[in-house]
């Protein structure tokens, strides 16, 4: 899929779907699948049977993966931006398209 423009720890905003407009931090990135898991966003409810590990069972809330195209990086002022790659001092760095600021990540 190429280089990961969105990585674990990035602050992102959801662009479409039921959670559109919500912001969160990427807790897991799956570059081979092109998906990310964002904390507190796209929460699915799993109905679990009681097991020895969890004798209660019941409802379990799980964050489901989102496609990476449905999220955008958030700038310092809280607006979504695309990410591009630049070379600075001979190193490949991620840069916010809207502001031109370097993304540390």
**55 lies in a domain?**
yes
Model confidence pLDDT, tens digit, residues 61-84 = 999 999 999 999 998 888 999 999
Structural domains in the chain (count):
1
**Four-CA torsion 46, 13, 92, 33, nearest 10 degrees:** 30
CATH number of the domain within which 31 lies: 2.30.30.30
Mean pLDDT over all residues of the chain?
Answer: 91
Beta carbons of 5 and 101 less than 8 angstroms apart: no
Confidence bin at 58 (pLDDT 50/70/90): very high
**21 lies in a domain?**
yes
**97 lies in a domain?**
no
Residue with tokens 């674990």: 8
Confidence bin at 23 (pLDDT 50/70/90): very high
**105 lies in a domain?**
no
Domain that holds residue 67: 11-76
Beta carbons of 14 and 6 less than 8 angstroms apart: no
**102 lies in a domain?**
no
**49 lies in a domain?**
yes
Pick left, alpha or beta for residue 70 (phi over 0 → left; psi -120 to 50 → alpha; otherwise beta): alpha
**5 lies in a domain?**
no
Confidence bin at 2 (pLDDT 50/70/90): low
**81 lies in a domain?**
no
Q: Which two tokens stand for residue 70?
A: 């449905």
């Amino acid at each position: 899929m190429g280089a990961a423009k969105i990585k674990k720890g990035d602050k992102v905003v959801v662009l479409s779907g039921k959670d559109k407009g919500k912001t969160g931090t990427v807790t897991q990135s799956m570059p081979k699948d092109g998906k990310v898991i964002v904390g507190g966003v796209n929460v699915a409810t799993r109905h679990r049977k009681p097991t020895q590990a969890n004798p209660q069972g019941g409802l379990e809330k799980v964050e489901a993966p989102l496609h990476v195209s449905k999220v955008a990086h958030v700038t310092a002022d809280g607006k979504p931006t695309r990410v591009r790659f630049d070379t600075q001092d001979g190193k490949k760095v991620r840069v916010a398209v809207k502001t031109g600021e370097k993304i540390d990540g």
